[in-house]
Amino acid sequence: MKILCLGDVVSKLGRETLQKVLPKIRQEKGIDFCICNGENSADGNGIIKQTADQIFNSGADVITGGNHTFRRKEFYEYLEQNKFCLRPANYGEAAPGKGMCIYDMGRVKIAVINLMGVVFSEAIENPFDTLDRCIENAKDENCKLILVDFHAEATAEKKALGYYADGRVSAFFGTHTHTQTNDLQIFEGGTGYITDLGMCGAKHSVLGIKPYLAIEKQKYHLPVRFENAEGECLINGAVFEVDEQTGKCTGTELVNITV
Ligand SMILES: [Fe+2]
Ligand SMILES: [Fe+2]
């Protein structure tokens, strides 16, 4: 089975480009299942009903999230209602929505787990502990395939949790930095891995924001009203080929398209 995972979809440019190219990518590469990170899909940040719907309608089966998922209060109801739209699982039980879902493909059940890092981030539950619990739940539900989006800042934290998951999950990919890393690989235990998928957003930008505004913010440390960059758009991600019998990753392909 071929699984396509795409990095953070950023604003209108990212959404509209995704809508244009995702059906084509799915068809050309013979994709069976697709996950997109949607935490920055709303204009001005966060995620709202309209942008989540647009990502699903473009061809995503599951939307994962991160530190910006809870930015828009009006989205909490959607998080509670749509079990395929996730937020990180290591937020407390009281937080809206769920951090894991099970997608039944008929011939095989897929568990998707969303986690967030705690290095340079919020003091939420240790992701190692949450991962153990989620994998146990997935096994109890007879999920042959387990996929993890680890939304985190520090590369060392991502690698460490990736190795910790090796042999227990089919694919483990990072999001959040919006910058694609050059380390797509299959670990010895059979887990497909990449530190960061990158983003679906403006190529000439700082995380999707106009560069001069990011420079101003970092040079003067004064409040800046961010605006999304336009122009060419990156579609960044990875394809993991997974054996449905063993749950092991057997092949990988980087996705780095400029539209
Ligand atoms: Fe993001
Ligand atoms: Fe993020």
Ligand 2 centroid to residue 103 C-alpha, Å: 24
Ligand nearest to the CA of 150: 2
Strand partners, 209: 206, 228
Distance (Å, rounded) from C-alpha 213 to C-alpha 168? 42
Mean pLDDT of the chain: 97
pLDDT-based confidence at residue 45 (cuts at 50, 70, 90): confident
- Looking at the chain, which runs of residues are DSSP E strands? 2-6, 8-9, 33-37, 62-64, 100-104, 109-116, 145-151, 171-175, 185-186, 192-194, 199-202, 233-242, 249-258
In CATH, what number does 2-258 get? 3.60.21.10
What is residue 44's predicted lDDT score, i.e. its pLDDT? 82
Ligand 1 centroid to residue 55 C-alpha, Å: 15
Ligand nearest to the CA of 199: 1
pLDDT-based confidence at residue 116 (cuts at 50, 70, 90): very high
Ligand 2 centroid to residue 30 C-alpha, Å: 29
Residue-range domain boundaries for the chain:
2-258
Question: What is the spatial order of strands in the sheet that 145-151 belongs to?
Answer: 100-104, 109-116, 145-151, 171-175, 192-194, 185-186
Ligand 2 centroid to residue 253 C-alpha, Å: 23
Ligand nearest to the CA of 208: 1
End-to-end C-alpha distance for the chain, whole angstroms: 26
Contact 51, 89 (CB under 8 A): no
For residue range 180-230, what is the model confidence (pLDDT) as tens digits?
999 999 999 999 999 999 999 999 999 999 999 999 999 999 899 999 999
Mean pLDDT value across residues 125-132: 98
Distance (Å, rounded) from C-alpha 233 to C-alpha 122? 30
Mean pLDDT value across residues 139-153: 98
- Catalytic residue numbers, as ranges: 68
Using the structure block, give the residue that is written with the tokens 């990753």. Answer: 249
pLDDT at 135 exceeding the cut of 90? yes
Ligand 2 centroid to residue 44 C-alpha, Å: 13
